[in-house]
Amino acid sequence: MATIASKLDEVSGRIARACDAAGRPVSSVTLLAVSKTFSADAVLEAMSAGQTRFGENYVQEALDKMAALAAAREQLEWHLIGPLQSNKTRVVAEHFDWVHSVDRLKIAQRLSEQRGAHLPALQVCLQVNISGEASKSGLAPAEVEPVARAVAALPRLRLRGLMAIPEGGGDLDSQRRPHRALRDLLDRLNAAGLALDTLSIGMTADLEAAVLEGATIVRVGTAIFGGRSTAV
């Protein structure tokens, strides 16, 4: 069985080739290793191979892993990429470095109020329902600008950009379409005076399409840690 280290190598190779094809420097894309459903030991193994940024979907599961890996906290960056309910904002504000899944102003306001003064600003992205699926969370594209302005003004947050989980499947061209739509939205926000530098798109199945369309953070789980038994 391939080790986590060798799978990380493979994913880095995929990112490097996609950057080449896009004419982008490899350093313009950050790999977020999505460790949801995998153990603290798996995170540790990835860490030994040099990976320092990890994405988690479930708050309690993430807190348990952070506790198990507390000794390495300084070297690690924890990103929440799953849905966030109001009653969980406090622990998230206290423990995470990034939240990609902010989908309403209320959540951002709570995170800002609850972010400890001793911590650096919490880095956030707005989640956008870019393919307009009824079942997916995220702001509708038309709602994004006013929310982005309000979030950018919150004192303890730093609004970095946009995140999306487009419908999977299809060929490279059909995968690129929703990614391009998200990038166009980011460009429009920046033209309207916001200063956003992050596009969080691309997973195991579509990271090449995402890099071609300007992804700055790709969130990869399966290709690093293997298949998950529970569908998420």
Q: Which residues bind ligand PLP (CB under 6 A)?
A: 34, 36, 57, 81-82, 165, 203-205, 219-222, 232
Task: Indicate the residue among 149 and 170 with the shorter CB distance to ligand PLP.
Answer: 170
Closest approach of Cβ 118 to ligand PLP, in Å? 29
Closest approach of Cβ 116 to ligand PLP, in Å? 26
**Residue 30 burial by Cβ neighbours in a 10 Å radius (0-12, 13-18, 19+):** middle
Closest approach of Cβ 186 to ligand PLP, in Å? 18
Task: Indicate the residue among 16 and 232 with the shorter CB distance to ligand PLP.
Answer: 232
Task: Indicate the residue among 104 and 156 with the shorter CB distance to ligand PLP.
Answer: 104
Task: Indicate the residue among 161 and 221 with the shorter CB distance to ligand PLP.
Answer: 221
Q: Which two tokens stand for residue 36?
A: 């949801």
Closest approach of Cβ 191 to ligand PLP, in Å? 27
Task: Indicate the residue among 82 and 214 with the shorter CB distance to ligand PLP.
Answer: 82
Could you give the CA distance from residue 164 to residue 126 in angstroms, rounded to a whole number? Answer: 8
- The letter for the amino acid at 109 is Q
Closest approach of Cβ 193 to ligand PLP, in Å? 28
Task: Indicate the residue among 84 and 144 with the shorter CB distance to ligand PLP.
Answer: 84
Task: Indicate the residue among 131 and 149 with the shorter CB distance to ligand PLP.
Answer: 131
| Residue number of the CB atom closest to ligand PLP | 221
Closest approach of Cβ 132 to ligand PLP, in Å? 17
**227 contact partners, CB below 8 Å, separation of at least 6:** none
Closest approach of Cβ 74 to ligand PLP, in Å? 25
